[in-house]
Amino acid sequence: MESKDIIELCKKNNVKLVDLKFTDLPGTWQHFTVPLSQFDEKIFEQGIGFDGSSIRGFKEIEESDMVLLPDASSFVIDVFGKEPVASLICDVYEPGLKTRFSNDPRAIAQKAQEYLKKSGIADTAYYGPEAEFFIFDRVEFGSDQNFSFYRVESGEANWHDNIEPDGSGYKIRNKQGYFPVSPLDQTIDVRRDIVAELHRLGIEVEKEHHEVATAGQAEIDIKYDNLLAMADKIMLFKYAVKNVARRYGKTATFMPKPLFGDNGSGMHTHISLWKNGAPLFFDKSGYAGLSQLALWFVGGLLVHGKSLMALCAPTTNSYKRLVPGYEAPTNLTYSARNRSAAIRVPMYSDSPTSKRIEFRPADASCNLYLAFSAILMAGLDGIAKKNDPGKPVDGNIYKLDRNETTIPQVPSSLVEGLDALENDHEYLLAGNVFPKEIIDTWIDYKRTVEHDAVRLRPTPIEFEMYYDV
């Protein structure tokens, strides 16, 4: 779409405001809005300024001036407010528009795609993430020097103190939320409205359903796309999910583990490489139909699996999900059909175009641009070095005797993942895709702002366990 077409569409649809969105370092959308009367084609070339020192992970106050350039291809009409607005995703530039801001997450995704093409291995990396989430009726939380609490409410949950307003008695037990029909499934209308909004926003949905956990856990799968386009789409997807939930008087979260004792929300990510319109991961004679190239790609993911977690499961809460027993992919191995492995090879179809791998430990708390790029860089490093992924593990790994297996595990905490990234990040620097500065900034931010905030505070369960010592 051309810039002039956007302005004409805005006028045609009586859109009077233009919303400019970009992503901060942790991976959250930021925005500001300008009237259509102040928005012309020159902005697509000259940009519009903002204060980068107020954005997490961007600039210090003495170098705060930055510039946004809208990407015309990202144009949609946003109807989640009182009146429709034009919405555009932007790239971040240094003043003068001479260079991209090196720590702009979207810039890294763009560089990763270019690096793939220059490698000669492939020209396209397709991604199909399954970003799970919860739809709650209500959530309350708070923390200060002298208190800390949270409370989640859901009419469909089977909690002893959870009183359903209509007294119908339809409750979903822990781990029994996969595919129940209504009235057990009480968030079906919300999900279907989300699907309708996604289609209106140009995002093709493949299926939607209730997920395994109680209390409104959901999954809506969208059609695969290239790395950058999919990162953009999942940002828009998360935005639509939260706003539709709010429309229903509910609240949605992509927090990996909001509930104790039930499954958490992951982002199982399907990946395949293509060249000249042909799939590269298929070989009829290979294990599970995988080509040698695909196996080397898997080898790269396994070799760098621990450091990848610092970018793909980057919150302290991520590691409350990554524990054995809740379909959590904690084992750094690969297998056909096996959901207890970090890398699963889906076997639904024999078609070469459907052959892909599924990287399961990631979750949607990540910065999508960084996580998708890191996955690609790890896989390409595996191909370059011909990393042997070893033998697959086809049994239920959770039932193996831990004294008889030496399968590597994902980190057990955020700080362990950050330590791994600090010691293993050279593969991300290849082709200058990841600047060393953004890796250092990421590690410092996650350690000092997030990990320490959790580490230093007592929790309610500690009072239950230790108050009477």
Q: What is the pLDDT of residues 21-77, one digit of tens each?
A: 999 999 999 999 999 998 888 899 889 999 999 999 898 877 788 999 999 999 999
Q: What is the mean pLDDT of residues 252-281?
A: 97
Q: What is the pLDDT of residue 162?
A: 66
Q: Kindly tell me if the per-residue pLDDT of 199 is higher than 90.
A: yes
> Which domains does the chain show, CATH number per domain?
3-101 (3.10.20.70), 103-132+266-469 (3.30.590.10), 133-262 (3.30.590.10)
Cβ atoms of 102 and 94 closer than 8 Å: no
Task: Give the per-residue pLDDT at 112.
Answer: 98
Q: What is the pLDDT of residue 164?
A: 64
Compute the mean pLDDT over every residue in the chain, rounded to the nearest whole number.
Answer: 93
Rounded mean pLDDT, 347-375: 96
The pLDDT of 281-309, averaged and rounded, is 97
Quickly state the pLDDT bin for 350 (edges 50, 70, 90): confident
In this predicted structure, the answer to whether residue 289 has a pLDDT above a threshold of 70 is: yes
Residue 340 scores a pLDDT above 90: no
C-alpha to C-alpha distance for 327 and 198, rounded to whole angstroms: 28
* Sequence-separated (6 or more) residues with CB below 8 Å from residue 137: 153, 154, 155, 216, 249, 250, 251
> Residue 165's pLDDT band (boundaries 50, 70, 90)?
low
Give the closest residue to 36 by CA, choosing from 11, 72, 68: 11
Query: What's the pLDDT at 328?
Result: 81
Q: Which two tokens stand for residue 149?
A: 């609490």
C-alpha dist (Å) from residue 397 to 208, 239, 328, 344, 409? 28, 36, 11, 13, 11
What is the reported pTM?
A: 0.95
pLDDT of residue 169: 82
- Residue 2: pLDDT above 90? no
Query: Could you give the CA distance from residue 159 to residue 190 in angstroms, rounded to a whole number?
Result: 22
Residue 64 backbone phi and psi in degrees, to 5: -80, -20
Cα–Cα distance, 391 to 372 (Å, whole number): 25
- Average pLDDT (260-281) is 96
Query: Does residue 390 carry a pLDDT above 60?
Result: yes
Report pLDDT for 412.
94
Nearest-10 Cα torsion for 427, 429, 435, 438? 10
**Given pLDDT bands bounded at 50, 70 and 90, which one contains residue 348?**
confident
Q: Which residues are catalytic?
A: 51, 130, 132, 211, 219, 268, 339, 358, 360
What is the mean predicted confidence (pLDDT) over 236-242?
Answer: 98
- The answer to whether 20 touches 43, Cβ cutoff 8 Å, is no
Q: What integer pLDDT is reported at residue 400 of this predicted model?
A: 64
pLDDT confidence of residue 96:
77
